[in-house]
Amino acid sequence: MTQWERDAFWDRPEMAERMGNRPPDHRFVALADRGLDLEPILDVGCAGGRNTAFAAERGLKVIAFDVAATMVAATRARLAPHLGEHLAEERVRQLDLSSLGDVWPASEGPFGLILALGVLQDLPDADAFERALQDLFDLCKPGGLVLIANFGADSQPDGVPLRPLEGSPHVYLGFGHGGRPMTMPDPSTLDAWAQAAGFEVDVPTDVRTAETEAGFRTTLNAQYRRPRER
């Protein structure tokens, strides 16, 4: 699968609607219910806006971005009833995660909560994944949190093991639409990468399993914290 094919897959109205209609992440809901100081919130790879809209509904300041123009438009539409069209357009941007550290305005942030749910796995290799974690650390407040959800390499969505990409550790093929390459570290490796970026493990990383039509997929749920300055 080429980069163009991957981007075209996500840049579809039906995909934006499907992703946007999913319920917000249960861990995010639990944090919001606790009344913690989470603001401002950054939604990385916001897809159809399910978590961005939830934050706005709760009156939380949220900024979001996605690489796909259709996803950006869908998220802005979900935000507009809460913030108005002008502010929704300002708060939701089109941006490639791989360029985050180069283009994100230094004046925006740091963030009390960063959501990176089902997005880091689409980075091309381990180096890009680790760079993204470092960018997220740099954008996070001392004491702030980052929530990560990442597909697991032991997934068998089509009933057979995923194929490792030769020469690219932690990259596997065969996950959905055309067998796109995905970076999927195991839990201990993900924790090690996050710690190398400067985070500490706030909640033990767990693995959830969900059935697919032909097999199953696993998802790593991680919660990291940027240590408070001493």
Q: How many CB atoms lie within 10 A of CB 106?
A: 7
* pLDDT score of 105 more than 60: yes
pLDDT, tens digit (0-9, with 9 covering 90-100), for 178-214: 678 899 999 999 999 999 999 999 999 999 999 999 9
* pLDDT score of 176 more than 50: yes
- 3-20+27-225 maps to CATH 3.30.470.10: no
pLDDT, tens digit (0-9, with 9 covering 90-100), for 151-170: 999 999 999 999 999 999 99
> What is the Cα Rg of the chain in Å?
17
Domain ranges of the chain: 3-20+27-225
Q: Kindly report the CA angle at 40 between 101 and 111, in degrees rounded to 5?
A: 35
User: What pTM was computed for the model?
Assistant: 0.92
Q: 226 is written with which tokens? A: 């940027």
Give the sheet arrangement for strand 41-44, strand by strand. Answer: 92-94, 62-66, 41-44, 111-117, 140-151, 216-225, 200-211
In angstroms, rounded to a whole number, what is the distance separating the alpha carbons of residues 67 and 220?
23
**Residue 226's closest CA among 42, 53, 97?**
42
SS3 assignment, position 198: coil
Bridge-based pairing of strands 171-173 and 182-183 is: antiparallel
